[in-house]
Amino acid sequence: MNKADILKRQIEAIENSDGSEIKSRFMELFGFECGATNGRNIRNRMICKLQEIYFGGISDADREQLAKLAENDPLSNLKTGVAKPRKMSRGTRLRRNWNGADYEVIALSDGQFEFEGEKYRSLSAVASKITGTHWNGKKFFGVK
């Protein structure tokens, strides 16, 4: 039996596994638990890893070529001149309706935020105060 046949059998086993088996096999392949994602994504990731194990990963020459291409791509996350996130101007008002109540936050000049007369260090802190659970503040207020 050659590598391709063995890989094909491994892929079929992954495709026919249930959720608990997939999580166990993922742990064997990667050495850590899979994140919260759907089964299709986990299976695809595992199949790619098996292909890498049986046939090898990307060559150093190809990796260098991809890095050179990324240097010239303005959308690449490898760019060294990545724009820094802009700070909100003092007085910017962010509004959000949550569970039927309207909330307003005001950006202060020191990078903090005012909510109901109190200062908060981040939008996430305000969002957590409003909801009672952890939130990404920018996402909660729709500025991300």
Kindly state whether residues 52 and 106 are assigned to the same domain: no
Is the separation of the CB atoms in 109 and 90 below 8 Å? yes
Check residue 113 and give its pLDDT. 93
Is the separation of the CB atoms in 94 and 111 below 8 Å? no
Kindly state whether residues 66 and 109 are assigned to the same domain: no
| Helix boundaries (H) for the chain | 3-15, 19-30, 39-55, 60-71, 123-131, 137-140
74 pLDDT exceeds 80? no
Quote the CA–CA distance of 103 and 120 in Å, as a whole number.
14
120 pLDDT exceeds 90? yes
Segment 81-107 mean pLDDT: 81
Q: Give Cβ neighbours of residue 113 (< 8 Å, ≥ 6 apart).
A: 105, 106, 107, 119, 120, 121, 122, 123, 125, 126
**Would 52 be classed as within a structural domain?**
yes
59 pLDDT exceeds 60? yes
Total number of domains constituting the chain: 2
- Burial (CB < 10 A; 0-12, 13-18, 19+), residue 96, is middle
Q: How confident is the model at residue 18 (pLDDT cuts 50, 70, 90)?
A: confident
Backbone angles phi, psi at 101, to 5 degrees: -110, 145
35 pLDDT exceeds 80? no
Domain enclosing residue 34, as ranges: 3-71
Q: Please tell me the pTM assigned to this model.
A: 0.44
Q: Give Cβ neighbours of residue 12 (< 8 Å, ≥ 6 apart).
A: none
Kindly state whether residues 15 and 67 are assigned to the same domain: yes
